[in-house]
Structure 1
Amino acid sequence: MPNIKTLLLAALLAASGVAQAHGDADHAKKPAAVIKEQKDWGIAGDAKAAKRTVEVKMLDSMRFSPDRLEVKQGETVRFVVRNDGKVMHEFVIGTKAENDEHAALMIKFPNMEHDAPYMAHVAPGKTGEIVWTFNRAGEFDFACLIAGHYQAGMVGKIVVAAR
């Protein structure tokens, strides 16, 4: 049974709009207006600027295919993420530290919804899309942060080569 601190945190998150039920809804489609916020791993990209499309499959074996991607600093990539499984999966780009923290929250609040331009929550048999500009060099991760999936190794690596 949750303690009072957990219940208060959940209530605060819900009231702030940060937490909503995941459910079985398909959250792959993004709202028309994307908020562009600089992250350590880049910024939301413009679809017209994407010169490259990368398809990533999400599998019930708790793996991505491919699980390693290489891009160039400044490149805008359109990710088409396809859920080839029978359970919900998601594709979240971030740093290992950010994904570790988010995965821990997902265990505590498995119904937490998150909607940001670097995330796609995709129902079985469906496809989602992310357009992202990698304006910072480095090694970043992508992961499925649904409780248990991340812990089972559903992660991949994006290497952004400096200009």
Structure 2
Amino acid sequence: MRITQTLIVAAILAASTASFAHGDEKHTNANAPVKMEQKAWGIAGQPNAVKRTVEIGMTDNMRFTPDFIEVKQGETIKFVHVNNGKVMHEFVLGTKKELDEHAAMMKKFPGMEHDEPYMAHVAAGKKGEIIWSFNKVGEFDFACLLPGHYEAGMVGKIKVVAK
């Protein structure tokens, strides 16, 4: 019986560890519906509502280019993230408070997998994208929350102005 319990525990641990994998693969299922959840910084956008495309460069000097973007309230933006570096980077939209909390979690669980419509994980030399609707006025943030990247200053700002 002891061997069976050990195997069950090992299987549970293996499954839970696998769910924290943070590999180079795209983390979204193209066939899955987009999670439409209102956030302080907006809501997932629909491809047919895109008003403009903004390309954001990611580099191993831990910077985004551009690192400041201004949008109008109600505008839906398609962000195309281009990783010009040799390591994985990510783009996560949020408030400073939420990004700080998420960065702290990433330090505790560096392999944590997350798949939200306001996040893009981009392997070295690859592109990623998200579509986001900015339906609230305010100043919001974006960052790479991989351990060490956020602390090195891989952050940016989005200012949403009234129509």
**If the length of structure 2 is used for normalisation, what is the TM-score?**
0.86
Contact preservation (8 Å) 2:68, 2:158: yes
Question: 1:103 Cα shift?
Answer: 0.3
Where does residue 102 of structure 1 map in the other structure? 102
SS at match of 2:70: strand
Contact preservation (8 Å) 1:29, 1:129: no
Where does residue 56 of structure 2 map in the other structure? 56
Q: How far does the alpha carbon of each residue in 1:32-57 deviate from its partner, in whole angstroms, 9 at most, with x for none?
A: 31010000000000011001000000
Residues in 1 aligned to 2:34 and 2:26: alpha-carbon distance in whole angstroms: 18
Q: Indicate how the Cα distance of structure 1 residues 28 and 156 shifts in structure 2: closer, same or farther if over 3 A, else same.
A: farther
Question: 1:25 Cα shift?
Answer: 2.5
Where does residue 5 of structure 1 map in the other structure? none
Task: Report the number of matched residues.
Answer: 149
What residue ranges of structure 1 are gaps of 5+ in the alignment?
1-10
Q: How far does the alpha carbon of each residue in 1:45-97 deviate from its partner, in whole angstroms, 9 at most, with x for none?
A: 00110010000000100000000000000000000001010000000000000
Residues in 2 aligned to 1:47 and 1:80: alpha-carbon distance in whole angstroms: 13
Where does residue 126 of structure 1 map in the other structure? 126
What residue ranges of structure 2 are gaps of 5+ in the alignment?
1-12
Contact preservation (8 Å) 2:28, 2:115: no
Contact preservation (8 Å) 2:58, 2:85: yes
Where does residue 70 of structure 2 map in the other structure? 70
Larger mean Cα displacement after TM superposition, 153-162 or 24-33: 24-33
Q: Which runs of 4+ in 1 moved over 6 A?
A: none
Residues in 1 aligned to 2:78 and 2:72: alpha-carbon distance in whole angstroms: 14
Where does residue 154 of structure 1 map in the other structure? 154
Q: How far does the alpha carbon of each residue in 1:127-155 deviate from its partner, in whole angstroms, 9 at most, with x for none?
A: 00100000000000010000000000000
**If the length of structure 1 is used for normalisation, what is the TM-score?**
0.86
Q: Rg: which structure is higher?
A: 2
| Structural mapping, 1:5-154, within 5 Å | 14=16, 19-27=19-27, 30-154=30-154
Residues in 2 aligned to 1:29 and 1:158: alpha-carbon distance in whole angstroms: 27
Contact preservation (8 Å) 1:55, 1:79: yes
Residues in 1 aligned to 2:28 and 2:123: alpha-carbon distance in whole angstroms: 8
Contact preservation (8 Å) 2:78, 2:130: yes
